[in-house]
């Protein structure tokens, strides 16, 4: 019987450290930071298809998303990544292909080029001007002509917003902070 316990003890000693490493990695990726690969063109020219990002879950544990941030959220079992345009209580409008927040044209020159136009979608579930309900956020992709976003499916509940875009790790020539 003593031999059996010695073998079991050796097996436990052998797998203990790898199991702790795996458990630690799972905890970190579930609650602190995680990796994501961008599948679509909806955030071009900020983020491209095939880019690999490290996203940070920590900021949204203690604060709400801010206008202009790029956030990861859950929508219909998918994780999407878009820019925060409207906060709870904001009135969003699209006039002459420009975004207006609370009656003022939004300055998006930091992340959109001068040729980017914001269009209305005919299949939208919302009408403009649109008041963002309490506890919800209005999200849009930077590639406005090719982005399924809040213009189509409406606002995103705060509880669905899970991480802030942080750092691009691939491709190597574009490594850096994502803004």
Q: Considering Cα of 87, then 88, then 89, then 92, what sign does the dihedral take?
A: positive
- Annotation says 109 is catalytic: no
CB atoms within 10 A of CB 101: 17
Between the alpha carbon of residue 50 and those of residues 35, 72, 145, 154, the distances in Å are 12, 16, 19, 26
- Annotation says 29 is catalytic: no
Please tell me which residue in 10, 30, 34, 82 is annotated as part of the active site. 82
Please tell me which residue in 42, 147, 150, 164 is annotated as part of the active site. 42
Residues identified as active-site: 42, 82
């Amino acid at each position: 019987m003593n031999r059996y316990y010695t073998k079991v003890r050796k097996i436990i000693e052998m797998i203990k450290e790898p199991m702790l490493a795996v458990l630690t990695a799972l905890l970190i990726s579930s609650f602190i930071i995680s990796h994501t690969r961008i599948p679509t063109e909806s955030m071009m020219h900020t983020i491209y298809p095939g880019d690999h990002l490290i996203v940070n879950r920590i900021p949204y544990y203690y604060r709400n998303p801010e206008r202009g941030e790029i956030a990861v959220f859950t929508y219909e079992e998918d994780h999407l990544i878009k820019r925060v345009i409207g906060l709870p209580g904001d009135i969003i409008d699209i006039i002459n292909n420009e975004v207006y927040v609370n009656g003022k044209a939004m300055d998006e020159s930091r992340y959109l080029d001068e040729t980017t136009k914001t269009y209305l979608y005919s299949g939208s579930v919302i009408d403009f001007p649109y008041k963002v309900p309490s506890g919800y956020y209005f999200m849009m992709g930077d590639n406005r002509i090719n982005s399924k976003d809040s213009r189509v499916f409406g606002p995103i509940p705060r509880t669905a917003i899970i991480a802030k875009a942080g750092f691009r790790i691939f491709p190597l020539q574009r490594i850096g902070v994502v803004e």
